[in-house]
Amino acid sequence: MTDQMQRIVLASRPDGAPRNDNFRLETVEIPALGDGEVLIKAHYFSLDPYMRGRMDDAKSYAAGIGIDDLMAGGAVGEVIASNAPEFVPGDFALTMTGWATHGIAKPVEMRKLDPALAPITTALGVLGMPGFTGWYGLTELGHPQKGETVVVGAATGPVGSMVGQVARMRGLRVVGIAGGEAKCSMATEVYGFDACIDHRAFEGARDLREALKQHCPDGIDIYFENVGGKVLEAVLPLMNAHGRIPLCGMIAWYNAGNLGANAAMESLTAPRLWQSILVKHLSVNGFIISNHFDRYPEFLREVGPAIAAGQVKHTEDIVEGLENAPAAFRGLLTGKNMGKLLVKVI
């Protein structure tokens, strides 16, 4: 049995965009297994935008990560030792062992995976937290109606691509927004979006709005919000009365430091944002998917068969080697990845 492991901890809090020296790679002893505990060798772990929020001291979804603490997050791996009757060596599991080669978990924190049913990586993406987030936000908070128009930011990410594909299955017009021509092609050609707009082609919100207008001739009924920034500013005036905005992220603002004056938009002030919600009778709902896992079986019932039938596709972007996680994570925050970003632990 291995008795050493590697992991990445938070070395210091970033001021704006993370730098590599905000992280530190450590080699440590694997702690002795306690009663009821399981030792897992990670095969892949997940990099997700929400992790940026947890690097700050401020209140985010969950408590911030402490200095010198493990960069927490989802992972899939193989059980290599077990003091719990629920797991035996050779089992595969989804766990929260984070940016590390190994981790210790209790069965209550683990979900057993059957590699024969689906590749284990899908538990971190299309069938995992991101895919479920897209499905839940769209269907439960977006109230999609056939013939309506939905706009999705970060269209080719694991959340956005699920939103778009489920919306298409339900008969909506789907317009994506993504960074770069390659992603826009992926959105329309792989994921079947009706259109996708490259936000990098537009300097300001006003020009982006003009482009959106052409692709949303009947206005926007649902804006699935995981971006913020220029995209939000472009979208708001195009929202139809009684529009819905499920809000699960704001990646454009994660690196904005104190979210104060430097993060201000061209013209989007707090009063203007409030006014749009009021005047258009919008419904804006912030959510975090971990509060809604009771709905996961329902998600699987709809999306599982659609994946099997090829109606719902997904893309993985796999980086090899724990030591490359910080650079890959920095790239995620600037949109360098194509699809669900995973680190393969070699």
Exposed e or buried b per residue across 112-145, where buried means at least 16 C-beta atoms within 10 angstroms of its C-beta: ebeeeeeebbbbbbbbbbbbbbbbbbbbebbebe
Residues 232, 251, 319, 341: which binds a second copy (CB under 8 A)? 232
Q: How far is the CB of 58 from a second copy (least distance, A)?
A: 9
Selected range binding a second copy among 24-32, 164-172, 243-251, 312-320, rule: CB under 8 A: 243-251
Q: Using CB under 8 A, pick the residue from 287, 295, 298, 338 that binds a second copy.
A: 287
> What's the burial of 25, exposed, middle or buried (CB within 10 Å: 0-12/13-18/19+)?
middle
Question: Closest separation between CB of residue 277 and a second copy, Å?
Answer: 4
Show the site string, 3-22: x = touches a second copy by CB under 8 A, - = not: --------------------
Comparison of 232 and 303: residue with beta carbon closer to a second copy: 232
> b/e string for 31-61 if b means 16 or more Cβ within 10 A?
eeeeeebbbbbbbbbbbbbbbbbbbbeeebb
Pairing of strands 283-286, 239-247: parallel
Closest CA to 141 of 297, 277, 292, 301: 292
- As given in the structure block, the two tokens for residue 317 are 């972007």
User: Please, what is the minimum distance in Å from the beta carbon of residue 48 to a second copy?
Assistant: 14
Any contact of residue 280 with a second copy (CB under 8 A)? yes
SS3 76: strand
Among 283, 311, 315, 324, binds a second copy (CB under 8 A): 283
| Beta carbon of residue 210, minimum distance to a second copy (angstroms, whole number) | 18
Question: Which one among 16, 36, 204, 286 touches a second copy, defined by CB under 8 A?
Answer: 286
CA dihedral 7, 296, 183, 243 (to 10 degrees): -130
* In the complex, minimum distance from the CB of residue 194 to a second copy, in angstroms, rounded to a whole number: 27
Q: x/- site string to a second copy, residues 250 to 279, per CB under 8 A?
A: x--x--x--xxx-xxx-xxxxxxxxx-xxx
Closer CB to a second copy, residue 112 or residue 272? Answer: 272
**Residues 61 to 80 in contact with a second copy, rule: CB under 8 A:** 61
Among residues 83, 188, 255, 285, the one that binds a second copy under rule CB under 8 A: 285
Q: Tokens 């949109």 correspond to what residue?
A: 335
Q: Which residues of 89-101 are buried (b: 16+ CB within 10 A; e: fewer)?
A: eebbbbbebbbbb
| CB 12 to a second copy: min, Å | 22
Q: Which residues of 206-215 are buried (b: 16+ CB within 10 A; e: fewer)?
A: eebbebbeeb
Select 28 or 259, whichever has its Cβ closest to a second copy.
259
Specify whether the CB–CB gap between 73 and 96 falls below 8 A. Answer: yes
Neighbours of 304 (CB within 10 A): 16
Give the distance, in angstroms, between the CA of residue 263 and the centroid of all CA atoms in the same chain.
22
Residue 228 binds to a second copy (criterion: CB under 8 A) = yes
Distance, CA of 99 to CA of 173 (rounded, Å)? 38
Interface region with a second copy, contact rule CB under 8 A, candidates 52-60, 70-78, 207-215, 311-319 = 52-60
Tokens of 344: 């393969």
Please count the residues of this chain forming the interface with a second copy, following the rule CB under 8 A.
42
19 versus 281: smaller Cβ distance to a second copy: 281
Closest CB 170 distance from a second copy, rounded Å:
22
- In the complex, the smallest distance separating the C-beta of residue 104 from a second copy, rounded to whole angstroms, is 29
Task: Give the distance, in angstroms, between the CA of residue 187 and the centroid of all CA atoms in the same chain.
Answer: 16
- Sites of contact with a second copy (CB under 8 A): 53, 59-61, 228-229, 232, 242, 247-250, 253, 256, 259-261, 263-265, 267-275, 277-288, 291
